[in-house]
């Protein structure tokens, strides 16, 4: 990974990725990502053109968010295979690989996909993307007449497809979710036809966490673009502050009316302000609808279900917004989901700077200790919200709801919808 250009943070942030140095990824043979570790203080673009660069960016959280992680891993593979095909140095694949049997390149590729898979454990989209790439490579290697070159070309196309597909489907998720909640609230008489609604969300699920538009923030974006958004509330999302550092930037660039809520104030918010929907993203959804998402999603869902007795809200519907690639039908329930433990120091520190950055200023972002030295924190990055608290799961192909037995049948939903 090499360092790229810097620009000020108040210019609109369009997404986690951009292509420069060519009109397409194929021409540029690399991708640039926003270093999310220094947001919102500055927007620093970094070039990723290797598998190790992609791994490092995911592991250190320069990029995060389930779909964005999958896209970057795929693009890291594509970049190195394009380098190989164009006789440029590729750290993972030696030049001789191209003249070797397809099986030799396949073996080297499988070694690299196994490595990428260890970068972060909870988001299933990464595994799904890598499995898809491996499947395409295996199929090509088994084809009569396949060569290392044909295998490399096939894998590049599949890997770039992971990223392109994510960009396309997010808008559909957003629109499906917006339609679902508006129709539901109008049908139930909670709102008048055409009335605006207020929405609560957590973490960051927008264009910085996906390849564009976002999932839960995609729903908010769609409502905003239809002039149906009264207000967006977003949780600060400690300890990593994805809400404060990232969603705040996206809300500003979207121009949506918004307010940040401290995680400790969610109960008070739902007790005092009208909130029509809690919408969250997902890192992994088990076959029964149990959903792993950013830590605190479970407790917000519980509060949404049981608002304060004096609250203006009846139970607030909880909607999970995610692409089909986030469904893990191999897992019967959320009990099986591996929850990533983040290091203690991340919970004992905040990253920031004392003064806001000036236009065009190069900034260094400091990590500041907020606990006595030696304090240790238990720091799970995700929790599992039980399906019983989730009213709908919106995907690019529609919204899954519970059946008569008050249970999700996501296997059937996928079969019928695809």
Give dist(CA 318, CA 304) in Å, integer: 7
What radius of gyration do the chain's Cα atoms show?
A: 22
Judged by CB under 6 A, the number of residues near ligand MRU is 17
Least separation in angstroms between CB 313 and ligand MRU: 23
With b for 16 or more beta-carbon neighbours within 10 A and e for fewer, the 340-370 pattern comes to: eebeeebbbbbbeeeeebeeeeebebeeeee
Minimum CB separation from ligand MRU for residue 214, in Å? 6
Closest CB 43 distance from ligand MRU, rounded Å:
18
Q: Going residue by residue from 380 to 399, which x/- string records binding to ligand MRU, judged by CB under 6 A?
A: -x------------------
Q: Calculate the alpha carbon distances from 20 to 24, 48, 225, 378 in Å.
A: 8, 11, 28, 41
57 near ligand MRU (CB under 6 A): no
Q: Which is nearer to ligand MRU, 1 or 123 (CB)?
A: 123
User: Does the protein bind ligand MRU through residue 209 (CB under 6 A)?
Assistant: yes
Position 210 contacts ligand MRU (CB under 6 A): yes
Catalytic, out of 35, 49, 166, 283: 283
The residue whose two tokens read 């302000």 is 273
Q: Does 123 bind ligand MRU (CB under 6 A)?
A: yes
283 binds ligand MRU (CB under 6 A): yes
Q: Are 270 and 304 in contact (CB under 8 A)?
A: yes
CA–CA dist 386, 406 (Å, integer):
12
Which residue number, 238 or 271, has a Cβ lying nearer to ligand MRU?
A: 238
* Shortest distance (Å) from residue 371 CB to ligand MRU: 21
Q: CB neighbours (10 Å) of residue 396?
A: 23
283 assigned to active site? yes
- Structure-block tokens of residue 112: 């690299």
Interacting positions 60-89 with ligand MRU (CB under 6 A): 64-67
Of 28 and 280, which has the nearer Cβ to ligand MRU?
A: 280
How far apart (Å, rounded) are the C-alpha atoms in residues 368 and 105? 45
Supply the residues annotated as catalytic.
283
> Which residues of the chain form contacts with ligand MRU (CB under 6 A)?
64-67, 123, 203, 205, 209-210, 215, 242, 281-283, 293-294, 381
């Amino acid at each position: 990974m090499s360092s790229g250009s810097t620009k000020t943070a108040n210019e609109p942030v369009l997404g986690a990725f951009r292509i420069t140095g060519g009109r397409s990824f194929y021409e540029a043979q690399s991708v640039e990502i926003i270093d999310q570790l220094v947001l919102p203080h500055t927007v620093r673009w970094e070039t990723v053109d290797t598998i190790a660069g992609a791994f490092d960016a995911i592991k250190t959280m320069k990029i995060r968010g389930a779909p964005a992680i999958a896209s970057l891993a795929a693009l890291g593979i594509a970049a190195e295979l394009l380098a190989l095909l164009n006789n440029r140095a590729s750290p993972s694949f030696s030049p001789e690989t191209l003249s070797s049997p397809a099986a030799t390149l396949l073996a080297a590729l499988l070694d690299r996909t196994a490595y990428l898979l260890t970068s972060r454990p909870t988001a299933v989209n990464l595994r799904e993307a890598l499995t898809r790439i491996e499947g395409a490579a295996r199929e090509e290697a088994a084809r009569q007449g396949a060569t290392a070159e044909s295998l490399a070309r096939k894998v590049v196309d599949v890997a770039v497809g992971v990223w392109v597909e994510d960009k396309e489907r997010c808008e559909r998720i957003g629109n499906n979710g917006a339609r679902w909640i508006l129709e539901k609230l109008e049908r139930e008489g909670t709102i008048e036809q055409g009335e605006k609604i207020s929405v609560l969300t957590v973490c960051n699920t927008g264009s910085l966490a996906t390849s564009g538009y976002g999932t839960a923030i995609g729903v908010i974006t769609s409502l905003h673009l239809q002039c149906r958004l009264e207000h967006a509330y977003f949780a600060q999302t400690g300890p990593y502050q994805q809400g404060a550092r990232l969603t705040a930037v996206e809300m500003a660039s979207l121009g949506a009316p918004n307010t940040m809520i401290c995680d400790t104030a969610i109960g008070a918010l739902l007790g005092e302000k009208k909130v029509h929907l809690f919408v969250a993203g997902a890192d992994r959804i088990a076959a029964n609808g149990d959903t792993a998402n950013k830590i605190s999603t479970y407790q917000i869902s519980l509060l949404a279900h049981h608002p304060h007795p004096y609250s203006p809200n009846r139970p607030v519907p909880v909607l999970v917004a995610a692409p089909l690639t986030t469904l893990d039908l191999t897992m019967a329930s959320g009990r099986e989901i591996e929850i990533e433990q983040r290091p203690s120091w991340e919970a004992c520190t905040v990253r920031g700077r004392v003064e806001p950055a000036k236009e065009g200023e190069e900034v260094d972002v400091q990590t500041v200790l907020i606990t006595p030295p030696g304090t240790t924190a238990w720091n799970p990055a995700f929790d599992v919200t039980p399906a019983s608290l989730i009213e709908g799961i919106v995907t690019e192909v529609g919204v899954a709801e519970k059946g008569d037995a008050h249970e999700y049948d996501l296997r059937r939903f996928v079969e019928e919808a695809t």
